[in-house]
Every structure is written in structure tokens, then in C-alpha cells.
């Protein structure tokens, strides 16, 4: 095919690193924030029952 070009290469290494960093950093932050929420699912039965049981224990 005409106009064949290398799929990678050129003097773009710094731009590549910067461009990927610009999108990866907020994405990783978003995943980390979401994962904090996800932890609550794994703690579900314990957290729910423990919190539910807490007032009864203190009232005694």
C-alpha cells in the first residue's frame, strides 16, 4: 500500500509518555476511588450486622 509508515517510531517518545500519563493518572485515581467503595461490598454482612448489633450491646 502507498505511503507506508512505521507504526511506531519517530521522535515521539517524550510526547507518548506525557500523553499516556495525562490520561492514565486520572483514570487510575478514579479506579482507586471506586475501589474504596467496592470494599464496602466485601464487608457487607459483617459491617451491616456489626453496626446493627452495636446499639443493642451499648444499651445493655
Establish if 4 lies at the interface with other proteins (CB under 8 A): yes
Does the CA dihedral 47-52-58-60 come out positive or negative? negative
What is residue 45's three-state secondary structure?
Answer: helix
List the grid coordinates of 42.
466485601
User: Looking only at residues 16 through 55 of this chain, which bind other proteins when binding is defined by CB under 8 A?
Assistant: 16, 19-20, 22-23, 26-27, 29-31, 33-35, 37-45, 47-49, 51-52, 54-55
CA distance 39 to 16: 34
Residues that bind other proteins (CB under 8 A): 1-12, 15-16, 19-20, 22-23, 26-27, 29-31, 33-35, 37-45, 47-49, 51-52, 54-55
Amino acid at each position: 500500500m502507498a505511503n507506508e509508515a512505521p507504526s511506531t517510531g519517530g521522535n515521539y517518545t517524550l510526547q507518548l509518555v506525557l500523553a499516556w500519563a495525562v490520561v492514565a493518572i486520572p483514570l487510575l485515581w478514579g479506579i482507586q476511588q471506586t475501589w474504596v467503595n467496592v470494599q464496602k461490598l466485601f464487608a457487607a454482612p459483617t459491617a451491616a450486622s456489626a453496626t446493627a448489633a452495636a446499639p443493642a450491646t451499648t444499651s445493655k
